[in-house]
Structure 1
Amino acid sequence: MLDAKRLQILLSVVEGGSVTAAADELFYTPSGVSQQLRKLEEEVGQPLLQRHARGMVPTDAGHVLAGHARAILQQMDAAMADLDQLAGLKSGSLSLGTFPTLGSSFIPLVISRFRKMYPSIKLDVRSTRLSELIGLLAKGEISMGLLWEYEWMRLKRDDFELTTLFTEPTVLVVGAEHPLAQLEEVDVAATAHEQWIVRANEHPVAELLERTCNAAGFSPKISFQANDYQEAQAMVSVGLGIALAPKSAVVNHHPGVKVLSLGEAAASRSVLLAQRRDRVRAPAENAFQTLLVDMGKTWID
């Protein structure tokens, strides 16, 4: 394999016409230039330069190799310039996966700030369910994924590096006219007679509700199964029942509901950034991670 430094020395001698000119340009000694040229000739197996009265002139092989050297070195300069652009976050792209709760609350704020800081970075953002996010990460279709876990439903740590961004409490959502709406914090036992709205399709919040109510000594009575938290809030607002939700899900809450604390009675949810361990991370990915961690510190206060 040809050495790029020796190609540069050859090109400098051919363009400058002498070993001395190349040495001055490249900050070598003339003997150092000559030594590198001899090694290059050994590598290619034929003479590259001939000494004449007016300096050094290339042989036919020297002309050919000098032409290639010029193209190779220009391409290397272009590669370094592209890398410098990336290092300065003046170009590049980032693929991110999130889930609907964050996609309607936390992530838009992060993206807004990131685009102001790095307007030239192209963002590809997808929102889907937890299992699909894990699949997209595993296949490399996204480079970063926002995931979540409860204490009884931990994510596997084998394939991904996980960074906790924040831990958010579970809150109680009641109608604005509900008697409990006058309180700031509710004892779960006080809800034993209530009807409950839960997420459909065996969503983890349904298990969370069961665990929370069972710990308080009763089983919840389900009145409606909602497809998302917006639908759940709408049904709460018209008095069909009350509901549990992670706090991020009700940051943008329905005007007809009130969000109340349950203290430590219901388990919290951890939101994590997941990245594959076997990937080399681009500068844009590192910058977005830094911003996620920084904004996560103050997201749930």
Structure 2
Amino acid sequence: MTLEDLRIFVAVCRAGSLSAVARQFGVTQSAVSQHVKRLERETGVSLLERQPRGVVPTRAGQILETAASEGLAGLDLALRNLRELADGETGSVRVATGATTVRHFMADAVVAFRQRYPEASLEFRTEPSSRACFDALTDSELDLAWVTLGPPVRGIEQRAVVDLPWVLAVRADDPLADRPHARVRELADLRLIRLPPNSTSAAQLDAGCAQLGVRFAFDTSVTDWDTALLLAELGLGRAVVPALPRLHINGTDAVPSGDLRLVPLPELPPLTVGWAVRRWSALSPLARAFAETVSVP
């Protein structure tokens, strides 16, 4: 059993096709089949089930694929970290983020990190949701993912950085704009701008409302928080969103710019955001330094 056997087997399980993996690795389909057969001889069990349109792992194959995926990801990360230790402070940090993350949470950290490590490379990969960030972290050489924290994910460690209170975003001339706060039940009869329905933040908002016996109605849907804020500022609807760090909430010394007002909704439990990694103990020194630089007041 070799690392190449395991790499090819994992690739076959994910692709569901021997020929696709052969093209991916630049080998023949027969060579791919031989790697799988070697694993089956050594384990003594059948690992793949042939079907009319490809292959799927057997129960035994699923067990091996899960263990091999985790082991290969850890090994690849360790090898990369060793290379970066040899390079000193000239390595790279790869981060998965949502669409609004860098602007609202990391702007100061990126500047501070660049000043401290001028030779290091920062690479950002934008994903549409926290769930996509988890998937990207699992299936690639990414170091970190900035996510909305949620239920445990196998093979992933999550670390909270900041709690974001929920606010109602409205235009300055809205009847609710000057309120010091609003009750969730008052919003039940309003039609709101909906957060991405499959996102972790939307799920947690729905759960918080359910605990209060409230269900919102929506007439507009967006894919990210910034778009919801923009539509509210334009007077095209009201939105319940997390209070992002670079925005000011009604009642503070600073006033939101433009025509946007943010009214606190203190009844809703805050949304927790922070880092997800495969293993904190395996992070490279540069990745750990960047993660620690991101500090949201």
For the 8 Å contact 1:165–1:272, the answer to whether it is kept is yes
Residue 148 of structure 2: aligned partner:
148
Of 274, 277, 290, the residue aligned with 1:275 is 277
Pick closer, same or farther for the CA change 1:140–1:212 going to 2, 3 Å. closer
TM alignment of 1:89-168, pairs within 5 A = 89=89, 91-128=90-127, 129-149=129-149, 153-156=150-153, 158-168=154-164
Pick closer, same or farther for the CA change 1:146–1:205 going to 2, 3 Å. closer
TM alignment of 1:73-92, pairs within 5 A = 83=85, 86=88, 89=89, 91-92=90-91
Distance 1:261 1:211 in 2: 18
Distance 2:280 2:178 in 1: 52
Distance 1:208 1:283 in 2: 33
Of 215, 224, 227, the residue aligned with 1:228 is 224
My pick for the range that moved more, 188-197 or 110-119, is 188-197
Pick closer, same or farther for the CA change 1:155–1:269 going to 2, 3 Å. farther
For the 8 Å contact 2:183–2:265, the answer to whether it is kept is yes
Distance 2:102 2:245 in 1: 10
Distance 2:114 2:182 in 1: 40
Distance 2:148 2:199 in 1: 13
Residue 260 of structure 1: aligned partner:
263
Pick closer, same or farther for the CA change 1:141–1:132 going to 2, 3 Å. farther
Q: TM-score, with normalisation over the residues of structure 2? A: 0.61
Task: Give RMSD over aligned pairs.
Answer: 2.8
SS in 2 for 1:103: helix
Contiguous gaps of at least 5 residues in structure 2: 1-81, 249-255
Distance 1:222 1:278 in 2: 40
Distance 2:220 2:259 in 1: 17
Counterpart of 1:262, as a letter, is L
Distance 1:255 1:218 in 2: 31
1:85 CA displacement: 5.7
For the 8 Å contact 1:205–1:244, the answer to whether it is kept is no
Q: Deviations over 1:54-89 (max 9, x none)?
A: xxxxxxxxxxxxxxxxxxxxxxxxxx9x95761xx3
1:122 CA displacement: 1.0
Q: TM-score, with normalisation over the residues of structure 1? A: 0.60
Distance 1:238 1:278 in 2: 42
Q: Deviations over 1:248-293 (max 9, x none)?
A: 2873977222011111x1121111212212973322112112212x
Distance 2:132 2:190 in 1: 34
Distance 1:96 1:173 in 2: 29
Distance 1:199 1:249 in 2: 18
The count of aligned residue pairs is 207
Residue 180 of structure 2: aligned partner:
184
1:118 CA displacement: 1.0
TM alignment of 1:66-77, pairs within 5 A = none
SS in 1 for 2:282: coil
Contiguous gaps of at least 5 residues in structure 1: 1-79
1:161 CA displacement: 2.5
